[in-house]
């Protein structure tokens, strides 16, 4: 056991905290590994701490001494800035359950600010791997004294040591985080998930070993927990804690190249969650957040044992330290902002990124790629960015173009033409670099990497050789001092050759390898075949009919209807969605290849379909410790390279694997999803997850990537994605084509939805400016804005864009209506975007809305003022050059408010900008303007909803004759007003 050196400390002076304003292979699923943890080892691994003495003025909790537990002696006393610290030493025999017990630990507790508390338990010798600041730079704690002003309070029991976090404002409420044995259910507990013996709970010790760490906290029964990803969760955005018919959750943090399995680990690792608590006595809610700053492979368990009066969260890690940050909120938005303040705020997005993007794996040559651009324009469906997948490459090698199918002179001419038409081009960059086959094989990206000594190695110092698309490959080592030089050179040379890209798409960066171990060492390097058949290749044709289609009944056409009858589910009932140490590779005392505790990696062994865990990096770190960081480090290097290629322009990146702070460098797409209705629904929870993770620019492959889509699904999905941040249609090689012009109904639905999207671009742009400045999430779950309405806590079939736009998509086939809840319980008027009618909504329950094919329901919240583009055009640039309009939806008291951020849409801030503020009250609109950016476009029209019919309208003090009024919607319309938004504007009606 461990004894804890006592420390009496005061908080050092810190400045007052200021609140911020407001593709991969189709793998086969494998069953989860069984735990290697015998029951007795849970008991043996218990760690006991001796007394922690604090100033009684801190009121951090009473000291309770248990004479049956041995006590340790105080060995050192020291003060720490902003909190307390103490030394822990092993006071009893080591247990070594899954590794070696750490004999000496340090506890540091720091009140970073009034809203953030840092609790760090780490090995005193610093031999355990921790994330270097060069990889993730966390914000420093603001100066100031926060001990007595923080709403978060650190409490403890001395022996056995346990801690819990409470709110100063609610000291008697259930703690936010509570590791005390007395707060946890009695043990032993049989498997909470009956099919998984690792969920047997014999005790709840704090364990700190070199290859296994464990910590458990009590949660409120049926806690509302969100986050802990990346995952496609069957339970939805709210995680399954094992109540209300659920079985619980095992969230594994191990980046994995796999086509979007349900309830398993996938591409990214984000060990942060938000918990939302509702007090039934006060009918009020509060939200807090918990972040474990660790890259270790791990399981995070959420479950509720039978008959337990609490739910649980348990961390099980195969390395690292217990480094926790707690955020007090108290609102969902504030928690997300506070997390962003710590890990870094999202990168600024260029305006073109909000346009419609088109791609597929299977555009086999430049002519086919160009054809899509032509056909999209012929169909008058706006296309902003054209992409190419790995078809672009010569021999599937990074930074190349195929000399036959994609001649570089033709690629250059194509991209130049796109740019002339205000359009853009983005190519793919895969994570692995092809290994040169022989001395006559000229491939500069490999030879230059060897020259700079910047590829990952085997433990013996030889080159680690895996296998990906081009055959045998090597992998950039981002810990190498030459990594940035190499990566910038490679991207610069590619761009200068004629691939003048506007952004980069990073794929396969978990990092993925198709074989196990350094399989290319000593192999026949001329064998460039991958060990499986590609989709669409002979023997692996994508021939399945779309979901729900029965060819026996409906014939082989695959059409939406046959003789006027819907083909989805014909002959059967349609399917419904369910509700629901710095370790070194040559260390003999560390089990690098097979950690003793088997986390629930979907592939089983951690080295399957990935760079092996004993692969070694330039600083001595092994892949076991840094695996989850590879994608993040590639994103950072790519972002910085693009800044060198196009100085002062905002880099545009989309990446698959992500980690905490990735949003500073990149956006994200939700991976290799499926052309199924269920996955369109999963689209929403995925976007909501990544708002919490501070990677707000996110979206799914519209119409689905894997399998064959159909007309109805693609129709609905093109509409849904028009109201998501990242809007791209992308599908797999060999599947049917799904560009939106392929079906008339999809083309019509797309034109309509994109028209609305482009109208809303000033609103989207302003939301993302707030995200980059303050961490405010652009896309929000309904309860973020209405936190005291429990009926909203699990809603993830609808969502809000900002605070003012409610989206209610159709997510099932064969329907012409959709049910949706309208937040506010009758206190908020929601107006239809298209008709401006007020919805006659059921208070606190679902309302059925008309939703014929081609229509997506969008509603505007009262009290809002939204700046719009009045004339949506074919491209974002052309749209931005056109006039503005303003939509005002008055609240019941006749007021409304809104703001808009404007700049040139491409320059990296700081750059000239202007913020417009719209205030409406008592029949008067006042627009204020702040900033130096010159707005060349005029405000041409104004629509006010909810207004009484006026007798007279004045604009800038002058009577206006050209106005109209529609009584049915209480709608006041002003056209052709031509107002300059660079100065103050006043409009009155009375």
Domain-embedded: residue 669: no
CA distance 918 to 234: 42
What DSSP state is assigned to residue 467?
A: E
Q: Name the H helices within 693-823.
A: 711-721, 744-759, 761-774, 782-785
Q: Could you give the CA distance from residue 373 to residue 376 in angstroms, rounded to a whole number?
A: 5
Query: Does a structural domain hold residue 485?
Result: no
CB 565 within 8 A of CB 559: no
C-alpha distances (whole Å) from 918 to each of 20, 285, 829, 895 are 21, 30, 19, 10
Among 287, 317, 343, give the residue marking a domain's end.
343
How far apart, in whole angstroms, are the C-alpha atoms of residue 268 and residue 899? 34
Three-state SS letters, 286-336: EEEEEEECCCCCEEEEEECCCCCCEEEEEEEECCCCEEEEEECCCCHHHHH
What CA–CA distances, in Å, run from 323 to 101, 130, 143, 230, 326?
A: 18, 9, 21, 20, 10
Structure-token pair, residue 481 = 């001092």
Question: Considering Cα of 548, then 552, then 556, then 560, what sign does the dihedral take?
Answer: negative
Q: Are 868 and 810 in contact (CB under 8 A)?
A: no
Nearest 5 degrees, angle CA 838-CA 842-CA 848?
A: 80
For 957, other C-beta atoms within 10 Å of its C-beta total: 8
SS3 793: coil
Per-residue buried b or exposed e for 804-820, using 16+ beta carbons within 10 Å of the residue's own CB: bbbbbbbbbbebeebeb
CA separation (Å) from 330 to 169, 170, 774?
A: 11, 12, 16
The verdict on whether 209 is a catalytic residue reads no
Q: Residue 702 belongs to what H/E stretch?
A: strand 701-702
Give every strand in the sheet of 152-158, ordered side by side. 152-158, 161-167, 177-178
Distance, CA of 105 to CA of 121 (rounded, Å): 7
Cβ-based neighbour number of residue 496 at 10 Å: 10
In-domain check, residue 407: no
Q: Residue 147 has what pLDDT? A: 81
At 313 the pLDDT is 98
- Note the pLDDT of residue 90: 64
CB atoms within 10 A of CB 664: 21
Strands 938-945 and 971-974 turn out to be antiparallel
Contact present, 342 and 138 (Cβ < 8 Å): yes
CB-based contact 528:273 (threshold 8 Å): no
Q: How many domains does the chain have?
A: 2
Residue 334 lies in a domain: yes
Burial 715-743 (b: 16+ CB within 10 A, else e): bbbbbbbbbbbbbbbbbbbbbbebbbbbb
Distance CA 860, CA 231 (A): 31
Task: For 321-376, give the DSSP string.
Answer: -EEEEEE--SSHHHHHHHHHHHH-PPPPPPGGGGSEEE--TT--SHHHHHHHHHHH
3 state SS of 772: helix
Mean pLDDT, the chain cut into blocks of 10 residues (990 residues total): 30 28 31 35 29 28 25 39 76 75 90 96 94 96 82 87 93 96 95 92 90 97 98 98 96 98 98 97 97 98 96 98 98 98 98 98 98 98 98 98 98 98 98 94 96 96 96 97 98 98 98 94 79 74 78 66 65 36 55 92 96 95 97 98 97 98 98 98 98 98 97 98 98 97 98 98 98 98 98 98 98 98 97 98 96 98 98 98 98 97 97 98 98 98 98 96 95 97 97
Is 258:673 a contact under the CB 8 Å cutoff? no
Quick one: pLDDT at residue 569? 72
Residue 84 covered by a domain:
yes
Residues 263, 299, 510, 796: which is the catalytic one? Answer: 510
DSSP H or E segment with residue 497: helix 483-497
Range of the domain at 279: 71-343
Cβ 945 vs Cβ 889: under 8 Å: yes
- Domain assignment present for residue 114? The answer is yes
Question: Is 672 an active-site residue?
Answer: yes
Q: Where a domain ends, among 307, 326, 343?
A: 343
Which of 389, 477, 672, 712 is the catalytic position? 672
What are residue 542's phi and psi, to 5 degrees? -90, 90
Q: Say what the pLDDT of residue 834 is.
A: 98
Asked if residue 121 is part of any domain, the answer here is yes
Greatest pairwise CA separation for the chain in angstroms: 90
CB 275 within 8 A of CB 320: no
Reduced DSSP (H G I as helix, E B as strand, rest coil) percent helix, strand, coil of the chain, to 5: 20, 25, 55
The three-state (H, E, C) secondary structure of 852-881, written as one string: CCCCCEEEEECCEEEEEECCCCCCHHHHHC
- CATH number, position 118: 2.60.40.1760
Q: Last residue of some domain: 327, 343, 359?
A: 343
In a domain, 104, yes or no: yes
Q: Could you tell me which of 795, 790, 806 has the C-alpha nearest to residue 866?
A: 806
Residue 230, preceding peptide bond in cis (omega within 30° of 0): yes
- 330: preceding bond cis by omega (within 30 degrees): yes
Is 619 labeled as catalytic in the residue annotation?
no
Cβ–Cβ < 8 Å for 411, 499: yes
| 609 and 601 Cβ atoms separated by less than 8 Å | no
CA distance 820 to 845: 8
Q: Among residues 314, 321, 270, which one has the least CA distance to residue 291?
A: 270
Three-state DSSP class for residue 70:
coil
Residue of 209, 263, 275, 507 marked catalytic? 507
Give the CATH number, domain containing residue 980. 2.60.40.1180
Query: In this structure, are residues 915 and 867 in contact, taking their beta carbons and an 8 Å threshold?
Result: no
């Amino acid at each position: 056991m461990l004894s804890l050196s006592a420390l009496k400390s005061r908080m050092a002076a810190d400045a007052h905290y200021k609140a911020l304003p407001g593709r991969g292979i189709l793998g086969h699923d494998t069953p989860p590994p069984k735990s290697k943890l015998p029951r007795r080892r849970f008991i043996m691994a218990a760690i006991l701490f001796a007394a922690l003495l604090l100033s009684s003025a801190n009121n951090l909790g009473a000291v309770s001494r248990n004479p049956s537990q041995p006590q340790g002696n105080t060995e050192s006393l020291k003060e720490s800035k902003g909190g307390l610290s103490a030394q822990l030493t092993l006071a009893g025999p080591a247990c070594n359950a899954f590794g070696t017990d750490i004999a000496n630990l340090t506890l540091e507790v720091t009140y970073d600010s009034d809203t953030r508390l840092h609790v760090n338990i780490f090995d005193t010798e610093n031999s355990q791997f921790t994330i270097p600041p060069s990889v993730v730079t966390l914000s420093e704690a603001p100066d100031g004294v926060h001990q007595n002003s923080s709403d978060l309070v650190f409490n403890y029991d001395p022996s056995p040591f346990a801690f819990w976090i409470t709110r100063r404002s609610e000291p008697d409420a259930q703690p936010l985080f509570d590791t005390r044995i007395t707060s946890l259910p009695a043990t032993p507990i049989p498997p909470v998930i009956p099919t998984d013996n690792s969920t047997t709970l014999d005790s709840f010790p704090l364990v700190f070993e070199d290859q296994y760490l464990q910590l458990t906290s009590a949660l409120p029964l049926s806690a509302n927990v969100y986050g802990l990803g990346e995952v496609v969760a069957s339970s939805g955005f709210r995680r399954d804690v094992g109540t209300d018919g659920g079985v619980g959750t095992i969230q594994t943090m191990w980046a994995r190249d796999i086509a979007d399995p349900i309830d398993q680990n996938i591409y990214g690792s984000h060990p942060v969650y938000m918990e939302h608590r509702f007090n039934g006595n006060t009918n009020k809610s509060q939200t807090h957040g918990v972040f474990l700053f660790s890259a270790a492979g791990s399981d995070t368990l959420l479950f509720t044992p039978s008959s337990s009066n609490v739910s649980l969260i348990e961390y099980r890690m195969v390395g690292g330290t217990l480094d926790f940050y707690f955020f007090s909120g108290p609102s969902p938005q504030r928690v997300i902002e506070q997390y962003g303040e710590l890990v870094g705020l999202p990168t600024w997005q260029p305006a073109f990124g909000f346009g419609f993007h088109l791609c597929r794996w299977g555009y086999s040559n430049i002519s086919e790629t160009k054809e899509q651009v032509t056909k999209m324009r012929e169909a008058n469906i706006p296309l902003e960015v054209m992409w190419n997948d790995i078809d672009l490459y010569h021999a599937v090698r990074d930074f190349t173009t195929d000399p036959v199918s994609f001649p570089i002179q033709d690629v250059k001419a194509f991209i130049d033409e796109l740019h002339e038409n205000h359009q853009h081009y983005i190519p793919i960059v895969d994570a692995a670099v092809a290994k040169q086959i022989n001395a006559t094989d000229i491939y500069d990206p490999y030879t230059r990497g060897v020259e700079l000594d910047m590829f990952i190695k085997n433990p013996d110092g030889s080159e680690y050789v895996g296998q990906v698309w081009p055959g045998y490959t090597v992998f950039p080592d981002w810990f190498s001092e030459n990594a940035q030089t190499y990566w910038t050179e490679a991207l610069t040379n590619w761009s200068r050759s004629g691939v003048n890209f506007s952004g980069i798409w990073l794929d396969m960066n978990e990092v993925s390898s198709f074989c196990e171990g350094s399989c290319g060492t000593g192999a026949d390097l001329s064998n460039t075949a991958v060990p499986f058949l590609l989709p669409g290749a002979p023997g692996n044709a994508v021939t399945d009919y779309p979901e729900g289609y029965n060819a026996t009944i409906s014939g082989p056409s695959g059409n939406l209807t046959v003789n006027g009858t819907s083909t989805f589910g014909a002959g059967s009932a349609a399917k419904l969605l369910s509700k629901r140490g710095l370790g070194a590779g040559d260390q003999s005392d560390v089990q690098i290849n097979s950690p003793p505790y088997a986390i629930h990696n979907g592939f089983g062994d951690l080295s399957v379909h990935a760079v092996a865990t004993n692969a070694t990096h330039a600083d001595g770190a092994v892949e076991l410790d840094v695996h989850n960081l590879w994608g993040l480090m590639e994103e950072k290097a790519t972002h910085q390279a693009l800044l060198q290629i196009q100085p002062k322009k905002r880099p545009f990146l989309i990446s698959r694997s992500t980690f905490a702070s990735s949003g500073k460098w990149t956006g994200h797409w939700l991976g290799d999803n499926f052309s199924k209705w269920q996955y369109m629904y999963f689209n929403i929870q995925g976007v909501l997850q990544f708002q919490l993770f501070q990677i707000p620019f996110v979206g799914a492959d519209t119409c689905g990537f894997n399998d064959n889509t159909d007309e109805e699904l693609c129709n609905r999905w093109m509409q849904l994605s028009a109201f998501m941040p990242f809007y791209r249609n992308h599908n797999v090689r060999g599947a049917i084509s799904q560009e939106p012009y392929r079906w008339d109904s999809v083309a019509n639905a797309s034109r309509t939805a994109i028209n609305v999207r482009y109208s809303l671009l000033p609103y989207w742009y302003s939301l993302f400016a707030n995200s980059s400045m303050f961490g405010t999430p652009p896309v929000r779950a309904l309860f973020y804005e209405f936190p005291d309405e429990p009926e909203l806590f699990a809603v993830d079939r609808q969502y809000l864009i900002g605070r003012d736009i409610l989206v209610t998509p159709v997510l099932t086939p064969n329907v012409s209506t959709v049910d949706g809840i309208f937040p506010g319980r009758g206190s908020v008027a929601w107006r239809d975007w298209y008709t401006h009618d007020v919805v006659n909504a059921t208070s606190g329950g679902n309302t059925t809305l008309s939703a014929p094919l081609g229509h997506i329901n969008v509603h505007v919240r009262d009290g809002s003022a939204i700046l719009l583009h009045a004339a949506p055009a074919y491209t974002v640039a052309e749209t931005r050059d056109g006039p503005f309009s303003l939509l005002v939806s008055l609240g019941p008291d006749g007021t409304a408010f809104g703001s808009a951020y404007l700049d040139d849409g491409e320059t990296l801030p700081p750059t000239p900008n202007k913020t417009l503020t719209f205030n409406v009250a008592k029949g008067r609109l006042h627009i204020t303007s702040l900033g130096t950016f010159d707005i060349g476009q005029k405000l041409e029209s104004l629509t006010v909803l909810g207004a009484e019919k006026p007798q007279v309208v004045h604009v800038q003090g002058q009577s206006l004759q050209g106005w109209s009024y529609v009584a049915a919607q209480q709608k006041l319309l002003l056209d052709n007003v031509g107002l300059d938004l660079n100065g103050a504007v006043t409009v009155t009606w009375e």
